[in-house]
A and B are shown apart, each in its own frame.
Chain A
Amino acid sequence: MKITKLSFISILAVLAAIIILPSCGSDSEFDSSGEGRGGSMARFTFLKGYLYIVDETSLKTFDISNPENPSLLGTEEVGAGVETIFPYENYLFLGTQWGMKIYSVENGPTPNFLSDFEHSFSCDPVVVSNSIAYVTLRSGTTCQTGEDRMEVLDVSDLRNPRLLTTIDMQNPHGLSVSDTVLFVCEGDFGFKVFNIKDRANPELISHYDSIPSYDVITNYGRKELIITGKDGIFQYDYSNPYELKKLSQILSFQENE
């Protein structure tokens, strides 16, 4: 087949279009139907169709049935230093600078206080899996009195969380549980992988100390994890938690480094 100049140009044009299109996003329909998932550092979460937001001192409930007019159903004053919110079954677990607080939305959208578990003054997200809560506490907060550690709590009785064990950490931030594996972000110190087959005794499998990490989301179905930190976004395959396989990285450009 003889390629004419014209068809050569049109081939080029098609190639150019193929290269240019993805960068405008028009070939990849952004499907934002349904509900997404955030990490453990999130201040926003959905539960049963309502939007819950924590901000410094309060837990706010929004009816979002009409997004053009979200209505504030209630504001629960939860004390100072509320930082994170995590949905679990019919409950909301709040990470505050004073400890972990548990609220119920069993009897309607406005949260009812069930219990709290107080610790020293630290920052702390919390995640829950199979009635066990993992709470990280990090120092470097306003009052500088916190310790760096992780607390493992039995929350099968939501009104009475019980401390199972405490693990020393370096500077823990976000965390994520996937079945028998727990990933914990250690800020500038990298991230750690724990085996939690024995839920009360997390066993450190490995420490990846070269990847600053702030928060992590796991996809249990695909056994993949996404880490965010100041250097960028790192994705791993954890089908074998003892040997993570790096899938990709999206590096940030560091203006202020």
Chain B
Amino acid sequence: MRYTFKFLTLGFMLFTLISCDEWERTPNFDVEEVEGYRPIYATESEQDVKTLPAREIENPGKIYVINEFLLVVDQLKGIHVFNNDDPKNPQNVGFIQITGSNDVAVRDNILYADQATDLLAIDVSNPENVKIASRVKNVFPFGTQYPQQQGVYFECPDPDKGLVIGWEYTTLNSPKCYR
């Protein structure tokens, strides 16, 4: 599945410049080789929203409590579901793959999550087989289109390469993005 993202990096640059006016040091884009972040893109199989077997937490992010369940966002990867009926012994019961996600909220068997620039409503009434009920495009114009770190150079994401699921710190060649 292909996503078309609005290419907003330039807008974002301007936005940070305006929002911080004299505080923001204007980055120098005449750099050639510099340390910075390169986007990691999701593979074809990582694009689907689906239930997978329980797995270990890699990069824990936000948490959410619904009834006796504890949801733990694995940043940009998906949501771990724990049965937390006994907090002394939380049971890892499954993983909902939502590539490019950081936030979650649940109401009446619908799980709302961000996926890069889109808002998803996911029907979790059958947790073994979750289904996308709807997708609202471009709710998050900035999405996951930049690394979490600030004051860094990064390689501008290429929307044609798919969803960004992470960032690796490496040597970049003449990066065009900075935040």
Chain A interface residues (CB < 8 Å from chain B): 22-26, 28-39, 41-46, 51, 53, 55-57, 60, 62, 64, 67-70, 72, 80-81, 97, 121, 140-145, 214-215, 217, 219, 222, 224, 226, 228-230, 232-233, 235, 237, 247-248, 250-253, 255
Q: Which residues of A contact B69 (CB under 8 A)?
A: 30-32
Residues of B within 8 A of A80 (CB): 15, 18-19
Cβ of B105 and Cβ of A51 under 8 Å apart? Answer: yes
24 contacts between A and B (CB under 8 A): A22-B93, A23-B54, A30-B93, A31-B69, A32-B109, A35-B107, A36-B106, A37-B66, A43-B102, A53-B139, A64-B107, A70-B121, A80-B18, A142-B24, A144-B151, A214-B60, A226-B70, A226-B84, A226-B87, A228-B60, A233-B82, A235-B84, A252-B58, A255-B58
Task: Give chain B nearest CB distance to A26 CB in angstroms.
Answer: 7
Interface size for B (C-beta < 8 A) is: 67
Pick the most buried of A41, A62, A142: most chain B CB atoms within 10 A of its CB.
A142
Q: Which residue of B lies closest to A31 (CB)?
A: B67
Which residues of chain B in 84-123 are interfacial with respect to chain A, using CB atoms and an 8 Å cutoff?
Answer: 84, 87-94, 102-112, 114, 119, 121, 123
Is A70 within 8 A of B119, CB to CB?
A: yes
Contact call B108/A56, Cβ cutoff below 8 A: no
Candidates A24, A68, A141, A230; contact of B133 at CB < 8 Å: A68
What residues of A have a CB within 8 angstroms of the CB of B104 in the complex? 38, 44
Complex Cα distance, B109 from A228, in Å, reads 24
Counting from the closest, the 8 A-B pairs by CB-CB distance are A36-B66, A25-B93, A80-B19, A30-B127, A44-B105, A143-B23, A252-B57, A25-B94
Known interface pairs A38-B104, A121-B20, A233-B60; 17 further A-B residue pairs with C-beta atoms within 8 A, sorted by A's residue number: A35-B66, A38-B64, A41-B62, A42-B62, A43-B114, A55-B142, A69-B134, A97-B19, A215-B63, A217-B63, A226-B84, A228-B61, A228-B63, A233-B63, A233-B82, A235-B88, A247-B88
Given A44-B103, A250-B92, A37 contacting B65 (CB threshold 8 A): yes
* Chain A residues closer than 8 Å to B125, beta-carbon distance: 32
User: A253, B72: Cβ atoms under 8 Å?
Assistant: no
Nearest-neighbor residue (CB-CB) of A212 within chain B: B60
Q: How far is the CB of A78 from chain B (nearest CB, A)?
A: 12
Q: Is the CB of A226 within 8 A of B134?
A: no
CB pair B134 A70 closer than 8 Å: yes
Contact B141 A56 (CB under 8 A): yes
- Number of CB contacts from chain A to chain B under 8 A: 204
Q: Known: A67-B134, A141-B150. Is A228-B58 also a contact (CB below 8 A)?
A: no
Chain B residue at smallest Cβ distance from A39: B63
> Cβ of A68: which chain B residues have Cβ within 8 Å of it?
121, 133-134
Q: A44-B104, A51-B105, A224-B87 are in contact. Are A24 and B67 (CB under 8 A)?
A: no
Complex Cα gap A228–B141 (Å): 27
B23, B103, B104, B179: which has the most chain A beta carbons within 10 Å?
Answer: B103
Chain B hits for A51, CB < 8 A: 105, 107, 112
